[in-house]
Amino acid sequence: MKFEEPATLNPIDRSRIVGKPVDRIDGPLKVSGAAPYAYERHDVAPGAAYGWMVGSAIAKGTISAMDTQEAEAAPGVLAVVTHANAGKLGKGQMNTARLLGGPEIQHYDQALALVVAETFEQARAAAKLIRIDYALADGKFDLEAQKTSAAPPKKVQGSPTDTAVGDFEGAFKGAEVKIDQTYTTPDQSHAMLEPHATTAAWSGDKVTIWTSNQMVGWGVKELAKTLNIAPENVQVVSPYIGGGFGSKLFLRADALLAALGARAAKRPVKVALARPQIPNNTTHRPATIQRLRIGATQDGLIQAIGHEVWAGDLPGGDVESAAMQTRLLYAGKNRMTKHRLAVLDLPEGNAMRAPGEAVGLLALEVAMDELAEACRIDPVELRIKNDVQFDPEVGPDRPFSSRKLVECLRKGAAQFGWAKRNPKPGQVRDGQWLVGMGVAAAFRNNLTMSSGARISIDRQGRITVSTDMTDIGTGSYTIIAQTAAEMMGVGIEQVTVNLGDSSFPTSAGSGGQWGANSSTAGVFAACQTLRGQLAQRAGFNAEDALFEGGMIKAAGRAVPLSEAAGRDGLTVEDKIEFGDLAKRYAQATFGAHFAEVGVDIYTGETRVRRMSGAFAAGRILNPKTARSQVIGAMTMGVGAALMEELVVDTRFGYFVNHDMAEYHVPVHADIPEQEVLFIDELDNKSSPMKAKGVGELGICGAGAAIANAIYNATGIRLREYPLTLDKMIGKLASV
């Protein structure tokens, strides 16, 4: 099905099941520990041997000597895989660094070997017996130092690196009120709870990997390319994924090494990265330096807005697209955005939940707060004042498909009790706490991806949906079941959903908050095809047929689905393909974050007291799972604002705090009640589901609301994330 014109009324609009807060259908399996994750496939790969990865101890250079003999002779060892014996390997199109390094080394903890042994304990111990001598090369590890050498990358997420409209410099110079500030965000780690893990088994020249991967279709192509085998010989299975946040978008070392290890050991092999290896071996969100310049009239109308971004990556890598939202979020005739990419020899930078916006808004939305203060305008009102209903770089010819930012701000403010905020900073005390409130807009682009599904109906009228879509905690199982149930007019208990297997039709996968909307649209397409065929079998005109209560109804006649399905049932496949509606209309999701924080007057510790937000993201397919996505992302925003930082040791070129004791993410005690309000909205230009993504919107702006609340609490403006107490302490009033 091609989606080329705005959706009209369709069966999803009945909203009998879609749009309802249905419990997760995979819930009972997950809460009972019965859902099998990648390293737990005793059922399909019994007797798997254990692989342990050996990472590089240096950031850049070459292996001058490698001795694996002692490891090979160690108890239980079945194989040691290195660049020397792995055969000729390719590199995945989406990998910047090679997944098995050597002799050249591109980053710290790049995989250099895999030790395979009968037991986990033997593999781990033998790995320590591999001796590697290195020839160290000079590397570049300091973004600030490399800033001047940073160059424009070719593209930023398929868009131009730089944009310019009007005369930014002139308008900024002449503006009545000017904000010119630089903000920095550190490298961050996804820190999903399930480590990257894969079980691999070969059968002849075909390999199957049971893995933890957000993008099954990409995984097939990339593993085939890396192993130099045909994609038909690769099966990727990923039904349960213990968190991804972008870290499992791509083929990673666990998958390649498990496949190589299984080939070498001639039996199934499983590999999980050890937690301390993950931050440096895998990808991370790159650090940024961002300069924001906003020029406005005294009453807060933006005249000029400029956002420049510097970030680094390995040679051949990409820039963090942190200025993208500034192209779309606020009005202003004179505009400028720039991205500059420095070469750094740190581990590979790549997507983490809402790449671009998540850190871009940490800068832009604080700059807006600074502008509000300079103009003496309420920060909510400032944002409303600068709302724009079309792409401000293009003009009214490219309107937003739907944009309810103003409604989010107003309703969010009411829900939160924004009116009680004292606009003068440093005024509110509660015991030892200075208390403040902050607001920030949420913005995340809406992306759509082609997505396929197979749908079957059996003689009992039971529906089975199969697609290689993944559920990384997003609720895919449930919303796909809801979609099929709605379309086919059956109860959700009549629907079985099979996900995450490359033998199923290729889907959108989970990333960039495109998964829910795109994959359910693919299921919608397949259901439409099935409905047509069933209606025909029942002797109805498909357009007139109503699917309801397990029956197909038209012209005063009702035929049970089971009867129409016939003895052998019926299976169809279809996919959704998106036309140019995303070009004709700017498509994005919007929201408003509100936070109340307390800052300890003695120690500078910041604790979040309340968080609240209002969000507009098209049809909310399941308000229960969508709310969970949003609060989870808000919490990741708390982490970004207050504690998360991969610390770079610029001497050795690695992230020093590479485990979960030293890389802090929020714990239960950090998170208060969180309120989420979804604004009623249908976006008929986004998909036939009229939904948009929501999984990343919640992080976008959340941290800025906290930063602004800290300022309101203390009068201290910190611009280097995370906003830790050591940065606060010297600026607090004496006690």
- Just list the catalytic residues: 696
Interface with other proteins: number of residues (CB under 8 A): 97
From the list 165, 140, 219, 78, the residue with the least C-alpha distance to 503 is 219
Element (H, E) at 218: helix 216-227
Among 548, 652, 682, 715, binds other proteins (CB under 8 A): 652
CB of 446 to other proteins, least distance (A): 21
**Contact call for residue 430 and other proteins (CB under 8 A):** no
**Contact call for residue 64 and other proteins (CB under 8 A):** no
258/371 with CB nearer other proteins: 258
Which positions from 518 through 577 interact with other proteins, judged by CB under 8 A? none
Among 643, 677, 679, 710, binds other proteins (CB under 8 A): 643
Judge contact between 264 and 336, C-beta under 8 A.
Answer: no
Query: Residue 77 corresponds to which tokens in the numbers above?
Result: 């060892």
542/671 with CB nearer other proteins: 671
Among 11, 195, 279, 461, binds other proteins (CB under 8 A): 195
Beta bridge partners of 400: 586
Among 8, 9, 34, 158, binds other proteins (CB under 8 A): 34
Q: At which residue do the structure tokens 């009549």 appear? A: 494
33/204 with CB nearer other proteins: 33
**Contact call for residue 351 and other proteins (CB under 8 A):** no
Nearest-5° Cα angle at 271, 266 to 272: 175
Q: How many other β-carbons are positioned within 10 Å of the β-carbon of residue 33?
A: 8
**Contact call for residue 472 and other proteins (CB under 8 A):** yes
**Amino acid at position 466, single letter:** S
CB of 76 to other proteins, least distance (A): 7
Among 18, 19, 39, 514, binds other proteins (CB under 8 A): 39
Judge contact between 716 and 604, C-beta under 8 A.
Answer: no
Judge contact between 489 and 546, C-beta under 8 A.
Answer: yes
| E-state strands within 412-538 | 428-430, 433-445, 451-457, 463-466, 495-498
Stretch that binds other proteins, among 85-93, 150-158, 242-250, 589-597 (CB under 8 A): 242-250
CB of 735 to other proteins, least distance (A): 5
CB of 75 to other proteins, least distance (A): 6
**Contact call for residue 184 and other proteins (CB under 8 A):** no
Give the up-direction half-sphere exposure of residue 97: CA atoms within 13 A in the CB hemisphere: 33
Q: In sequence order, what DSSP letters do the residues of 322-391 get, joined into one string? A: TTGGGGTSS--SEEEEEEEEEE--SSPB---SSTTHHHHHHHHHHHHHHHHHHHT--HHHHHHHT--SB-
| Contact code string over 659-698 relative to other proteins, x by CB under 8 A | xxxx-xxxxxxxxxxx------------------------
Which positions from 573 through 632 interact with other proteins, judged by CB under 8 A? 600, 602-605, 607, 624-625, 627-629, 631-632
35/546 with CB nearer other proteins: 35
Judge contact between 109 and 281, C-beta under 8 A.
Answer: yes
3-class DSSP state for residue 546?
A: strand
126/384 with CB nearer other proteins: 126
**Contact call for residue 717 and other proteins (CB under 8 A):** no
8/32 with CB nearer other proteins: 32
Among 199, 498, 528, 635, binds other proteins (CB under 8 A): 635
| Contact code string over 82-121 relative to other proteins, x by CB under 8 A | -------------------------------------xxx
Give CA 180 to chain center in angstroms. 30
3-class DSSP state for residue 559?
A: strand
Which positions from 253 through 272 interact with other proteins, judged by CB under 8 A? 272
**Contact call for residue 191 and other proteins (CB under 8 A):** yes
Among 1, 29, 374, 570, binds other proteins (CB under 8 A): 29
The span from the CA of 27 to the CA of 38, in Å, is: 18
User: Which phi-psi region, left, alpha or beta, contains residue 685 (left: φ > 0; alpha: ψ -120 to 50)?
Assistant: alpha
360/598 with CB nearer other proteins: 598
